[in-house]
Amino acid sequence: MNIVPVAHITTDFKHKFGLPRQGARVKELCGKIVFTPEFRNPDALRGLEKFSHIWLIFDFSKSHRKNFSPTVRPPRLGGNVNVGVFASRSPFRPNSIGLSCVRLESIGYSKKDGYFLNVSGVDLLDKTPIYDIKPYLPIADCFPDACGGYSDENADHALEVVFEEGCDSETMSKSDLTIIKKCIAEDPRPSYQENETRIYKMKYKKFDVCFRICKNKAFITKIIPDEK
């Protein structure tokens, strides 16, 4: 069976570092889903406007691997504990398929793209291929008493994020500042890195956001506009 993308999503993250690890963790992070010409038929969207959320089945296009690994090391377990790949949401999977639930903000139209979807709470890289879209059904998809396994142990983990003295934050809009603070609060570091003097760089839109982390506090040191 050949699986082809039905659409691609446009987001403000072109690089993996800093991208939220799960959907809805940064609700302000938005995306635009544009359908490929073959599936650019308005009839395929008939009735979708009645749903508040949708499931995206997508390709971890930047995480393809030739060899199968049965175990991974989840970042929230410190990066030194192995769990089965099927007990994780790691992007390094046998078929590199991802699943994400996002809020459907609106359905738009343009002459260039046809009908497209505006969504929020995304955790996908810019230009990620999307294989399918399905409505989220609260009656079937919501289990309030579900157990989250090892993820429950770190569900409330978040860094305090502040601007270091001298950091010029006025180059960004307030909405963008909110987004980068929430993304950094998720602690995007690889789990094995705990060097408190290391400066990390996160690319967001046309900015390089530099920060360091000391214990449970992140200090944004610089916001550098990309002049390219």
Q: What is the distance between the alpha carbons of residues 210 and 59, in angstroms, rounded to a whole number?
A: 29
Task: State the DSSP string of 97-144.
Answer: EEEEEEEEEEEEEETTTEEEEEEES----TTEEEEEEEE--HHHH--T
Residues (pLDDT < 70) of the chain are 76, 78-79, 154, 191-193, 227-228
Q: Domains of the chain by range and CATH?
A: 7-141 (2.40.30.70), 158-225 (3.30.2310)
The pLDDT, as a whole number, for residue 160 is: 95
Return the pLDDT at 195: 77
pLDDT at site 78: 67
| Structure tokens belonging to residue 51 | 């749903």
Residue 35 has what pLDDT? 98
pLDDT, tens digit, for every residue of 95-134? 999 999 999 999 999 999 999 999 999 999 999 999 999 9
Its pTM stands at 0.90
**Pairing outcome for strands 217-225 and 128-135:** unpaired
- Tokens in use for 30? 């938005």
